[in-house]
Structure 1
Amino acid sequence: MSSPSDPSTGAATRAPQGGAPGPSAFRTAGSFLVSRVQQIGIFIALVVIVLLFQGLTGGRLLTAGNVANIIVQNSYILILAIGMVMVIIAGHIDLSVGSVAAFVGAATGVMVVQWGWPWWLAIVVGIVLGAVVGAWQGFWVAVVGIPAFIVTLAGMLIFRGLTQITLGNTQITPFPTEYRQLGGGYLFPELFPASTSPAEWITVGLGLLTLVLFLGSQLRGRGKRIKLGVEGEPAWWFWTRTGFGALLIVLLTYLLGIAEGSRGTPIVLIVLGILVVTYSIVMQRTRFGRHIYAVGGNRHAADLSGIRSKRIDFMLFVNMGMLAALAGIVFTGRLNSAGPGAGNLFELDAIAAAFIGGAAVQGGIGTVVGAITGGLIMGVLNNGMSLMGVSTDYQQFIKGMVLLLAVAFDVYNKRRARSLG
């Protein structure tokens, strides 16, 4: 049997007889874990928080119905977090996403309820409206050169005002069933009254398909990296990480499709899955994604290398506007109501999700998966504290402390890296 190799030097390290790893193996594992402490720490934090609240709530957190509720209740924040982390990686911030989500929700409400448009046409027009809003803000940031903080702060006020004007300071309700399904519906709900519903097997089938695709992509990616000689992680960590991801998929499949009280797959979970996969590919494997990291890491150097940073900024805000519109439609459909106060503080939750998920304050660092993980941490905190009966004032205090500690952890890691360098 060949000896494992040191990922930093390629030299072989051999365990002593008896199968126990030697000091060199511990040093290799330890140095690797230290280099990945921020990424690993986010997932460990999520697991610890889930286990903590599972115990504190007497096992109510990980029931089938509550897991589905966590997904549905936080879906719009997770959608916003995907776009927000891209904006933050490029060195910007967007304070207007909550108001944009409310505005698009109000506009689609007028289209569907008052004007009688088909629900699908209203959703399409709403997404286009979000893109137009993003282009408006991107123009001021990329072309005029006004800092994104100021532009989006103004946008927060502008689109909150437009929301109130559109609604006339009243609520619009009810929405068609098809519109509401995007925010709170489940796949094939008509099958669920039966005790042995085929929808359970559909959910299990989707879970197994997701598992196969996940394992295939992980193995294929590692094979390509090894072939090119750019593999940056040892085999033991690859299998640990992949096994953990597979276990999460199996657990979620069981809770949504087999466990007592399961209602099947939320439609918004399918939407989230598509968004996470698509944007992860964009950020990791496309030139546009690499340029976002380059602009956030060093804008001046990116400009000198020929990257059109203004175009990147413009497209990022168009994308953020579209995702804010989608989040607004999901939220409106879930509540079955479009109101003047919708989307309040959404931007803060999305920003918190991105930073807790590992995005750097200075830009240039962050991942879509990390932002989703950060959003889930916030969602589990909210849900767990609500199950325990913790008042909202204490919930806000605890969430604020979590955000502060996450950013402090990022700053500490950067200082430590500079001192070691």
Structure 2
Amino acid sequence: MSVARINVRESGIYIAFGLIVVLFAVLTDGALLQPQNLSNIIVQNSYVLILAIGMILVIIAGHIDLSVGSVVGATGAIAAVLMVEHDLPWPLALLITLIAGAAIGAWQGFWIAYFGIPAFIVTLAGMLLFRALTLSVLGNQGIGPFPDPVRTLANGFTEGYLGNIGLGPLGGADLVSLLVGLVAVGGIAVSQWRARVARLGYDQAVDPMPVFLFKIVGASAAVLFVIVQLARFKNLPWVLVLLAALVLGYSLLTKRSVFGRQIYAVGGNLQAAVLSGVKVKSVVFWIFVNMGVLSALAGIIFAGRLNLAGPTAGNTFELDAIAAAFIGGAAVQGGVGKVVGAVTGGLIMGVINNGMSLIGAPSENVMLVKGAVLLAAVAFDVWSKRRAGVASR
């Protein structure tokens, strides 16, 4: 059954993102949306977006991870020692680093899931332990440079495989990149249509058709605009390709798999999940293993981008990842959140950072705005829950 209203709780984050982009585009006289700047926003915030994907799963399950910044630093240090000091082939070094991240996640997941220590305490301890590990591995000094393939993954761009085509006043753009954009738009349209049909099949409320079409057209236009701008600069960043694969994979995991539904069940109602036969301890354990692996991946990307593994790498990254998840729609109590929402929350933080830098705002003002946005997002979540509770009485 269709209803003539917009679900503000689900769509609010995307509306807010659009308004923030428009605001800073105006304040910067369009500099925010220039090809090189858009590319910089994606590359410079890639590690936060990777962490946000893992963090949203942790928060959906009703937990928190304060150690991810320290794990980023530790795994980046491990990768540097393996590749630079021991001359290991970079694919083997990256594999060992990801395994080290999984081991770190398993260590924390064991104490949380099977020993019953709150995640806040375990990961707070992990924040200190793995920062100490970083300093020990590096000897309190930076190690670099990294092999070219690692730097390319963090900073490089896809080749212009079929050459540029003319786009009138926009100039030229790589044909392959444009085709990727069209495929992405088609994927968005098909997935949203299938979701709508499925909800109608279960007699659930959906957006009215004009609103639904407006969302599809708006999302498609935004994706195509970004792709065209990136194609005009140096084509698609490799890290964007990696992020797209992660977003697609984890979105399918949370929406289509049994394990994904179990994560929501654990965070939504723990007792009901236990009574339903969900192996809660196993679910919690594996989401922290996953968080460790993604933290290691972010550590590799960050170190490759700087071409150096430093003792302070990863400082405050956990705050950015947590903020991205909550701004992107995660609920404080758990059980609610989407991967796409967390990535959008991370992009909001990135646009604020970049936009205020372009207008010359001092760092204290940037922190002020980011803090206000985070508080507003959580306040909106609490308010919407209270409103829903009153309406259901």
Using the size of structure 2 for normalisation, the TM-score is 0.94
Q: Is it true that 1:393 corresponds to 2:382 in the alignment? A: no
CA separation in 1, counterparts of 2:278 and 2:82? Answer: 40
Structure exhibiting the larger radius of gyration computed from Cα positions: 1
Matches within 5 A, 1:126-275: 126-188=97-159, 200-227=174-201, 229-230=203-204, 232-258=206-232, 262-275=233-246
**Residue identity matched to 1:359:** A
Q: Unmatched 5+ residue regions in structure 1?
A: 1-5, 8-27
Aligned position for 1:62: 33
CA distance in 2, matches of 1:223, 1:362: 30
Structure 1 Cα separation of the partners of residues 373 and 204 of structure 2? 35
Alpha-carbon separation, structure 2, partners of 1:41 and 1:329: 33
Q: Which moved more, 1:114-123 or 1:91-100?
A: 114-123
The whole-number CA distance in structure 1 between the counterparts of 2:180 and 2:94 is: 25
Instruction: Report the Cα distance in structure 2 between the residues aligned to 1:214 and 1:359, rounded to whole angstroms.
Output: 22
Corresponding residue of 2:315: 344
Aligned to 2:44: 73
Task: String of CA shifts for 1:291-325, please: whole Å, max 9, x gaps.
Answer: 11111011011101111111110010000000101
Find the partner of 1:356 among 327, 345, 350.
Answer: 327
Structure 1 residue 100, shift from structure 2 partner: 0.4
Q: CA RMSD in A?
A: 2.1
Distance 1:189 1:126 in 2: 31
User: Structure 1 residues 293, 172: closer, same or farther in 2, change over 3 A?
Assistant: same
Partner in structure 2 of residue 25 of structure 1: none
State the partner residue of 1:24: none
The two structures have a TM-score, normalised by structure 1, of 0.88
| CA 322–242 in structure 1, closer or farther in 2 if over 3 Å, else same | same
* Per-residue Cα deviation, 1:206-239 (whole angstroms, up to 9, x for no partner): 2122222322333344344445555633322321
Of 72, 82, 93, which residue of structure 2 is paired with 1:122? 93
**Conservation of the 8 A alpha-carbon contact between 1:186 and 1:266:** yes
Give yes or no for contact 1:174–1:336 (8 Å, CA) kept in 2.
yes
- CA distance in 1: counterparts of 2:17 and 2:184, whole angstroms: 21
Calculate percent identity across the aligned residue pairs: 53
Question: 2:350 maps to what in 1?
Answer: 379
> CA shift at 1:38, angstroms?
1.8
Distance 1:335 1:235 in 2: 47
- Amino acid in structure 1 at the alignment position of 2:180: L
* Alignment partners' CA distance in 2, 1:88 and 1:226: 29
Pairwise CA distance, 1:395: 1.0
Amino acid at match of 1:206: V
